[in-house]
Amino acid sequence: MYQDIKERTFQFGLRIIFLSENLPSSRAGNVVTRQILRSGTSVGANVEEAVAAYSRNEYAYKMGIALKEARETHYWLRLIEGSKMTEKERVADIMNETDEIKKVLGSIVSKLRGKSKK
């Protein structure tokens, strides 16, 4: 399971990089590009840190941060789509992947938090 989410979020980060390279070089485009690069690549970085965690609590915390970053990335993708900074088709697939990653991370975090309360 670790390997799956690690690789998936790594590939996701690459897709964010490729997307950002095709966003317009305008005032708004530059702001959105910086933001989506930061949050989109942070998802995998936090998953990577979680896997190397020293404790279950640290693992849950880092996975929770990865989930928050995935949610933020989804927001920026919605802005890109809504503002028509790129073709809708170009954003649709990566938005679907963001949703899937959020579900996986949400499930992991939910299970970890549920077990720690018992």
**Domain range holding 69?**
2-117
116 pLDDT exceeds 80? no
Helix (H, G, I), strand (E, B) or coil at 23: coil
Q: Specify the number of domains making up the chain.
A: 1
Residue spans of beta strands (DSSP E) within 1-118: none
Arithmetic mean of pLDDT, 66-92: 94
Q: Which of 50, 56, 18, 53 is nearest to 37 (CA)?
A: 18
Q: What is the CA radius of gyration of the chain?
A: 15
Q: What is the CATH number of the domain that holds 78?
A: 1.20.1440.60
| CB atoms closer than 10 angstroms to residue 83 | 12
Kindly report, residue by residue over 5-21, the tens digit of the pLDDT.
999 999 999 999 999 99
- Name which residue leads in pLDDT, 2 or 69: 69
